[in-house]
Structure 1
């Protein structure tokens, strides 16, 4: 199934005072580029996040942002370093006795002294597991969105293929008329400068001219490339690069047709082809 590389998904959960929210954004990119944006307590999940995304996506620049919030019951517990506190209070008491100070010590200043308080880090292993499980759910949403957008892109490209094939058929049908018109113009011009025309030599020259103007090969290749585009759109794998290559080949044949055009209508057909190919190419840039 065709997938777009442009998508957004958001999902969160709140339980036991803990809130986790993932925001995933993806845009088109030549390769798969994953950019985790994790809180400090979740930095160790960086590799796991990259692996989880790489299992689900083939191309695109993907930003993975996690927001984490915990209430007071889940923050790190603070305890006193009793030996350090005794030493500090003892030193303060000695200073008071020596200097005859009456002011009581500032409790907050005492707590701010390095080493007096010890923060016991909360065990975030269960929360990290919840975050990874939530990531898989949000990835499901991201992939589904990319697939829906991809289906719309595939339908658009299919419609452009039909229009382009119509132009190919139009050019093929018109080519005999173009060659005959060129033949007649050449005959008339030669008749103006020569009374006795060598019909055999004229036919030889016309055969060479018709060969130079012939675009059957270009038409055949355009039709072949268009059928390949249709077939590629049905594949259940990343096909963006393949489609991009086919757009280049289609444009090459359309340019060749334009260079061989012998009248304004043929030129207009070539221009319309290139417009349709460019429209497809712009959409292909967003396909995984």
Structure 2
């Protein structure tokens, strides 16, 4: 089954006093481009994730982000001892200065002091980053499974579209063969007529040589080789699709060959019907090439 390079998956988890959210998404790219946004305080997390993603994916511009936070119950409030000492010293100095001036100050309340900026601070238990790393990496297979499932779902729809486009190319190739056969008789008549016209208006012309030159032109205008190669490319593409991903690069190369044959067909057409078919072929091939860009 084909796999698309477009996909998305998310997952939430919690352990060891932390909760987190994974976000994994990708779009098409020529190769595998990994972009990770991770907490930098968990040692070994990034290389472990890069290895897991590289093993599971072959192509795509992949963005993985991890948002992690400590649970509130793991944190406690405590008084900043240094700040408290500084405030108490300032209060004592202010009371002494006020007493010298004959002014009595109201006593300070504990609630007033605790409400001052910087008086309270949050303290947390030390985090075992190795254990947290193990907990996080244990969720990666499930995240990748969900992500791959979506890419495969997209790939299945993509496969249906590609097979339909190959059927159109196959049908247009058959139409081109019919049009080319019909053109053959007309070409033969035109060749004889041209040969007679040349001989009538040229003195001392070598009839055999002129006939050879016209025959060479006729061979150059023949499109059967291009049609045979188009049929071969159709079968090759169907085989690759049946093989399943990763075949995106091979299909992309094959689309270049499809386009080359369609261009040659149009340049050799020399008839309205064959030109129309060639242009229809180019249109379908171009549409198919756009779809192939998403195949891993």
TM-score, reference length from structure 1: 0.82
- Residue 112 (structure 1) aligns with: 118
Q: Is 1:216 paired with 2:219?
A: no
Give the structure 2 partner of residue 12 of structure 1: 12
Q: Name the counterpart of 1:285.
A: 293
Distance 1:79 1:51, change over 3 A: farther
SS at match of 1:58: coil
Would you say the 8 A contact 2:98–2:105 is kept in 1?
A: no
Which residue is equivalent to 1:102?
105
Q: Deviations over 1:52-85 (max 9, x none)?
A: 22221111122223344554203x3333454664
| Residues 195, 211 of structure 2: 8 Å contact kept | no
Gaps of 5+ in 1: none
> Shift of the alpha carbon at 1:95?
3.8
Residues in 1 aligned to 2:125 and 2:31: alpha-carbon distance in whole angstroms = 39
The aligned residue for residue 152 of structure 2 is 147
Distance in 2 (alpha carbons) for counterparts of 1:89 and 1:195: 123
1:7–1:146 contact (8 Å) kept in structure 2: yes
Aligned counterpart, 1:266: 274
Q: Is the 8 A contact 1:22 1:135 kept in 2?
A: no
Q: Which residue of 2 aligns with 1:89?
A: 88
TM-score by length of 2: 0.80
Partner of 1:21: 21
Bigger mean CA deviation after superposition, 97-106 or 59-68? 97-106
Which residue in the other structure is 2:164 paired with? 159
Residue 243 of structure 2 aligns to a residue whose secondary structure is: coil
Kindly state the Cα deviation for residue 21 of structure 1 after the two structures are TM-superposed.
2.6
Q: Distance in 1 between matches of 2:247 and 2:64?
A: 24
Taking the aligned partners of 2:77 and 2:47, their CA distance within structure 1 comes to 31
Alignment pair present for 1:123 and 2:127: yes
- Secondary structure at the residue paired with 1:119? strand
TM-aligned CA deviation for residue 244 of structure 1: 1.0
1:179–1:213 CA contact under 8 A, matched in 2: no
Q: Which runs of 5+ in 2 are unaligned?
A: none
SS across alignment from 1:66: strand
Structure-1 residue corresponding to 2:64? 64
Specify whether residues 207 and 186 from structure 1 end up closer, same or farther in structure 2 by C-alpha distance, changes over 3 A only: closer
User: Displacement, 1:166?
Assistant: 2.5
**Residues 203-246 of structure 1: CA distance to partner in whole angstroms, max 9, x if unpaired?**
53542232111122222322222222222223354221221111
1:78 partnered with 2:77: yes
Q: What is residue 180 of structure 1 aligned with on the other side? A: 185
Structure 1 124/208 Cα, relative in aligned 2: closer, same or farther at 3 Å?
same
Q: Is the 8 A contact 2:80 2:118 kept in 1?
A: no
Shift of 1:42: 5.8
Q: What is the match of residue 48 of structure 1?
A: 48
Q: CA shift at 1:283, angstroms?
A: 0.6
Give the drift of 1:44.
Answer: 6.5
Q: CA deviation at 1:13?
A: 3.8
Partner of 1:30: 30
C-alpha distance in structure 2 between counterparts of 1:78 and 1:127, whole Å: 24
